[in-house]
Amino acid sequence: MTDKSAEQSRDFYRQDVKVGVYVCHCGGNISDIIDVEDVARDLSDYPGVSVSRNYIFMCSSTGQGLVEEDIRTKGINRVVIAACSPALHELTFRGTLERAGLNPYLYEHVNIREQGSWVHKSNKKAATEKSKKLIRAAVEKICRQNPLEAIRVNAARSIAVIGGGVAGMSAALSLGRQGFNVYLIEKENRLGGKLNSLWKAYPSEEDGEKTLEELEKDISSLNNINIYLESEVKKIDGYVGNFSVEIVKKGSPEKIKVGALVITTGYVHYIPFEGEYAYKTTKKVVTLPDFIEMLKDDEKNGSLKNVKSVAFIHCVGSRQNPSLDKPQKDEKVNDYCSRTCCTSALFRIKQLLEKYPDKKIFDFYRDIRTYGLQHESYYEELSKKGVLFFRYPEDTRPQVEVKGDKLEVKSKDILTWNEEVSVEVDMVVLLTGVMPADISVIVDDLKLPIGSDRFILEAHPKLRPVEVPNLGIYIGGTAQAPMDLLEAAYGGKAAASKASMLLSKGEISLDPFVASVNPELCDGCEKCIGECLYPGAIVMENGKAKVIPALCKGCGACAAVCHTRAINVAGYSLEQIDAMVEAISKE
Amino acid sequence: MAIKVNPGLIEEIKKYGAFDISACFNCGNCTAVCPLSKEKMSFPRKIIRHGQLGMATSVQSSLEPWLCYYCGECSDTCPRQAEPGEYMMSLRRYLIAKYDFTGISKLFYTNKYAEFIAIFIVQLIVLAGWYLLFGLVPNIGVNTTAATLLPPYIIHWYFDVPMAAILTIFIIAFAFNMYYKTMLCDKSVKVPLKLYFTNLWRTAFESASQWRFSDCAGSKTFYSKLLKGDYNYWIMHFILMTSYVSLFVGIVFFLDWFQNVEKYRLLHVVLYDYYANIGLIAGTGYFAFLRIKKNFSRSKFSHVSDWMFVILLFLTAITGISLHFARVDNYSLQAFFYIYLIHMLVAIPMLVVEVPFSKWSHLVYRPMALYFDNLKKSARKLK
Ligand SMILES: Cc1cc2nc3c(=O)[nH]c(=O)nc-3n(C[C@H](O)[C@H](O)[C@H](O)COP(=O)(O)OP(=O)(O)OC[C@H]3O[C@@H](n4cnc5c(N)ncnc54)[C@H](O)[C@@H]3O)c2cc1C
Ligand code: SF4
Ligand code: SF4
Ligand code: SF4
Ligand code: SF4
């Protein structure tokens, strides 16, 4: 040991480096398996290490105090913390360093809990040895780390909200109220999206038009919200803080600069194929949105008076099965649940029965999914009123046939021990589901991640709701997943508050872990450009590659293909990685 | 063949009392908790569904309603408060109305006043007969005794026998109708003739002891349940039923002996003077009390016919006892005459109206259902 350390201490690079190593017990989570004292002792005479300690909870204020104290009094200028996952406390300890006056990036986090004690419970000795190696590698890495600065980009205090349904209007309204310059872009000639057609909507039974009028009134009272009707997005480029959006408004193009984007483009109704449940072969088979129109109509002229019996069929165009249902253009069936059709249909039946209590209603469901606050009560209430429910098995579909001036609906019924039942009715309502609006231009330009259900995919449903991996882009409402009005409004507002947090300082600081090209080594082969997944992150300038820091994600793909080793990712330089590998492989 | 759904049936059944059954969403909890439901005879969920779908033939051919003794466990467990126990009770009313091809039972169950009117009409007939035979004022001489004033043989031939004949004809006809609907129409099992005999004794034992009843009181040990009163309902039911049957048989078929205390005196005193009368009065009192308290599911809903049953039975018992004492002690022939008239005015309409057309017909249908169920079971086993 002494020989080696003597040799390595001659290394010029480390002359004035003083590393502090802190091994956390995590209250037993780590120390029950790993011999933390042995680890700390072992690291104390590793080259470059000045202080090596172990402590029960490093993240506690006393634990952090130890680090601050060592920085101030012992001249520690590099910190390695061996503890839990960095996802949990990396930011905590960066703050510790900053408070003690040290550059926060001169710190390395080693995960000896998830990657140590928790996965090697049965072999304490090996877990201890593994921890030592990981920490040694971290020490090697941090010794070669330069102070880094967060990347700062200027951000325009303006936001484009694309899609003016209830989600978009809610987002625009809350951003407008916070003083941002908002562009609300809607392709139709009126705001509101589906609010225009829901009539009296559950749960409040308030008329959608009325909700819409109120939202419109509030929006028009703010002159920092610019409404673009009959407008479509043609192209989007740029990056967080500096997006440029090309819009075609009533035929004439226009370009706007915004700091962030909120995407609330909503859904379209599933349209059954001709012949699917006899759709289009008779006018007596209608979709749920058609039926809502009919109810609205009936209020004025009693047009449903002569319809004595109605059958409802659930999950049309939702929860499909490729072997039973016809796919969409992209060859995929809609295998997801559209979530609002169950509640919506039961609510509409309730409306119908309130006016015409004698109508006979037959409901063919697969499951009743009336999620949400009091929505189960619609189901119970309707049962009590005599609505007859049938449950068809998932591997069958009810059949609709025209029989003279009636329709016959036949189905297997789980509730009747899978017997086939048949009813004769005057009308069939198909509970058609929802699909995301076609926004391929936006998706392609922004490289938005799309789920297998074609809706925009959230970065993480719990940790990063309404975000996508790309910074500065937020999603809300039914563009993201089927949901009801209330949830769509929540989604819009959540997206708005994330956008406003981002843009509130007029400047955005980004992690400094991005690539940079050493022009002296770059021979302009352009291999890196072909490898990069993020458009515009690495470009050619005067025959040399150049990285645009605000767009680079620091993935390192370019560095890996560069044959002259011209590219380094800050915090993960080739030299650092070489040193880590060497430290780990050394016996 | 697909089942053609007919929502009219459940509405019809609801007329017999099952007001809440549409709320059933077919979860099956009721069948799971029902202590009497068996794999091959599972209820009540199945017959609820058949009712909802309007499968009238299946409902009318079912024996399940007669195998349910309304313990109320199902209603207590139902998450939708659909009152399945009450539905089973209503089905029994519905089935009585269906076995009865005259339509009288249906009228009684679906019209509030029909039963009162019918009782009133029978009372008029009894009164007319009495007037013709004995007049409305007793003709009491020096030598008149109870037996000469109202000779038992006259009462027997002019009242009991015609009444018994009417009852028997109706009951046999309805019972055959039940047999037709539940056995002959059920093509799923064929019962060989031999089984009809071999199953007779088993059914006789079961209906006499009503042992299926006691299944209904949960699953602790017999004695702890007895002490806690879990069996009270069944015990009272048993006492009431045996009191009633013994009186019925004694009065209708052996009136001479019944009124002649001297023959088999001990049996007479023990069976009729004490057991039957006390049984009737205590039994009717107990059930009236439950209906008023309504704290058991099975007593929560009272149909007009349920009340009628309890009240008439109670009045019959009271007048019967008074009559007995009037005769035994010979204290007043005048009183004897009138009490006897009142007794006849209560008992005969009660028997004529209630036995074939209303709740008392359970006495016939239940043992028959047990018998048929046993037959079907044994027939299936043979296969
Ligand atoms: C049959 C049915 C009944 C329902 N009933 C109820 C109910 O009673 N109560 C309830 O709470 N919820 C109900 N819902 C759900 C409700 O409709 C939605 O939650 C809500 O409308 C979603 O609002 P949104 O803003 O997300 O989407 P949308 O209302 O679809 O709005 C999206 C907007 O974006 C616009 N747009 C799309 N693409 C572009 C583009 N490229 N550029 C510019 N603009 C674009 C569209 O024109 C539209 O105006 C029902 C849903 C269905 C299917
Ligand atoms: S909400 Fe109901 S009808 Fe709609 S897809 Fe889901 S289960 Fe089917
Ligand atoms: S590090 Fe990744 S994102 Fe950044 S330029 Fe290289 S390949 Fe593109
Ligand atoms: S418990 Fe109630 S809801 Fe469930 S099947 Fe029985 S009656 Fe229906
Ligand atoms: S009342 Fe009792 S016996 Fe009758 S169905 Fe319900 S649980 Fe079964």
pLDDT tens sequence for chain B (383 residues): 799 999 999 999 999 988 899 999 999 999 999 999 988 789 999 999 999 999 999 999 999 999 998 889 999 999 999 999 999 999 999 999 999 999 999 998 888 788 889 999 999 999 999 999 998 888 888 788 777 888 888 888 898 888 889 888 999 999 999 999 999 988 888 888 888 888 888 778 777 666 555 555 554 556 666 666 667 777 888 888 888 788 777 777 777 777 666 667 677 767 776 788 788 888 888 877 877 776 555 555 556 667 777 788 888 888 887 877 777 666 678 888 898 899 899 989 988 888 888 877 888 898 899 899 989 888 888 87
Range in A422-436, A526-540, B3-17, B139-153 the model is least confident about: B139-153
Cα(A113)–Cα(A27) distance, rounded to whole angstroms? Answer: 11
Verify whether ligand 2 is closer than 6 Å to residue A344 (CB atom).
no
- Among left, alpha and beta (phi > 0; psi -120 to 50; other), residue A524 is left
Write the pLDDT tens digit of every residue in A71-122: 999 999 999 999 999 988 999 999 999 999 999 999 999 999 999 999 999 9
Q: Following DSSP, what letter does each residue of A413-446 receive, concatenated?
A: EGGGTTEEEEEEESEEEEEE-EEE---HHHHHHH
Q: What is the pLDDT of residue B223?
A: 64
Of A200, A209, A230, A485, the one to substitute when testing ligand 1's pocket (max ligand atoms within 8 A of C-beta) is: A485
> Across the interface, do B2 and A385 touch by the CB < 8 Å criterion?
no
Q: What is the pLDDT of residue B143?
A: 81
- Does A423 contact chain B (CB < 8 Å)? yes
Nearest beta carbon to residue B80 from set A380, A421, A423: A380
Q: Are B273 and B261 in contact (CB under 8 A)?
A: no
> Across the interface, do B2 and A389 touch by the CB < 8 Å criterion?
no
Verify whether ligand 3 is closer than 6 Å to residue A566 (CB atom).
no
Task: For an interface test with A, give the residue of B53, B58, B80, B81 to mutate (most A CBs within 10 A).
Answer: B53
Q: What is the pLDDT of residue A1?
A: 37
Q: Are B136 and B330 in contact (CB under 8 A)?
A: no
> Across the interface, do A383 and B26 touch by the CB < 8 Å criterion?
no
Helix (H) or strand (E) holding A361: strand A360-365
> Ligand 3 centroid vs A139 CA: distance in angstroms?
26
Which among B81, B105, B104 has a CA at the least distance from the CA of B92?
A: B105
> Across the interface, do A385 and B22 touch by the CB < 8 Å criterion?
yes
Write the pLDDT tens digit of every residue in A283-329: 999 999 999 999 999 999 999 999 999 999 999 999 999 999 999 99
Verify whether ligand 2 is closer than 6 Å to residue A492 (CB atom).
no
> For ligand 5, what atom is nearest to the CA of residue B75?
6
A213 Cβ contact list (under 8 Å, min separation 6): none
Q: What is the pLDDT of residue A311?
A: 98
Verify whether ligand 5 is closer than 6 Å to residue B70 (CB atom).
yes
Q: What is the pLDDT of residue B210?
A: 60
Q: Is the four-CA dihedral B310, B316, B317, B318 of positive or negative sign? A: positive
The per-residue pLDDT of chain A, averaged, comes to 94
Q: Which domains does chain A have, with CATH numbers?
A: 3-149 (3.40.50), 158-266+437-508 (3.50.50.60), 270-434 (3.50.50.60), 514-569 (3.30.70.20)
Q: Are A131 and A41 in contact (CB under 8 A)?
A: no
Nearest beta carbon to residue A419 from set B3, B20, B80: B3
* A481–chain B nearest CA distance, Å: 30
pLDDT at A567 over 80: yes
Residues in A closer than 8 angstroms to B22, CB to CB, are: 383-386
Phi, psi of A522 (to 5 degrees): -65, 130
Residue B144's Cβ-side half-sphere holds a number of Cα atoms within 13 Å equal to 15
Q: What is the pLDDT of residue A13?
A: 42
By CA distance, what is B53's nearest residue in A? A388
By CA distance, what is A381's nearest residue in B? B23
Phi, psi of A331 (to 5 degrees): 75, 5
Rg (C-alpha) for chain A, rounded Å, is: 31
> In the 8-state DSSP scheme, what is residue B71?
-
Which among A372, A379, A307, A319 has a CA at the least distance from the CA of A345?
A: A379
> For ligand 3, what atom is nearest to the CA of residue A554?
1
- Does A380 contact chain B (CB < 8 Å)? yes
Range in A82-96, A180-194, A507-521, B195-209 the model is least confident about: B195-209
pLDDT at A6 over 60: no
Q: Which residues line ligand 1 (CB under 6 A)?
A: A 162-168, 185-188, 193-194, 198, 201-202, 232-233, 264-267, 288-289, 340, 344, 347, 434, 437, 439, 477-478, 483-486, 488
Write the pLDDT tens digit of every residue in A393-408: 999 999 999 999 999 9
> Ligand 1 centroid vs A478 CA: distance in angstroms?
6
Q: Which residues line ligand 4 (CB under 6 A)?
A: B 24-30, 45, 48, 77-80, 82, 84
> In the 8-state DSSP scheme, what is residue A276?
G
Q: Following DSSP, what letter does each residue of B146-189 receive, concatenated?
A: HHHHS-HHHIIIIIIHHHHHHHHHHHHHHHHHHHIIIIIS-TT-
> For ligand 2, what atom is nearest to the CA of residue A431?
3
Verify whether ligand 3 is closer than 6 Å to residue A517 (CB atom).
no
Cα(A542)–Cα(A532) distance, rounded to whole angstroms? Answer: 19
* B5–chain A nearest CA distance, Å: 5
Verify whether ligand 2 is closer than 6 Å to residue A367 (CB atom).
yes
- If DSSP states are collapsed to H, E and C, what string results for A80-148? EEEECCHHHHHHHHHHHHHHCCCCCCCEEEEECHHHHHCCCCCCHHHHHHHHHHHHHHHHHHHHCCCCC
Q: Which tokens is A321 given?
A: 């099965």
Chain centroid to CA A460: 5
Q: Which residues of A389-427 are buried (b: 16+ CB within 10 A; e: fewer)?
A: bbbbeeeebbebeeeeeebbbbbbbbbbeebebbbbbbb
Q: What is the pLDDT of residue A473?
A: 97
Phi, psi of A300 (to 5 degrees): -85, -45
B256 Cβ contact list (under 8 Å, min separation 6): B152, B153, B156
pLDDT at A67 over 80: yes
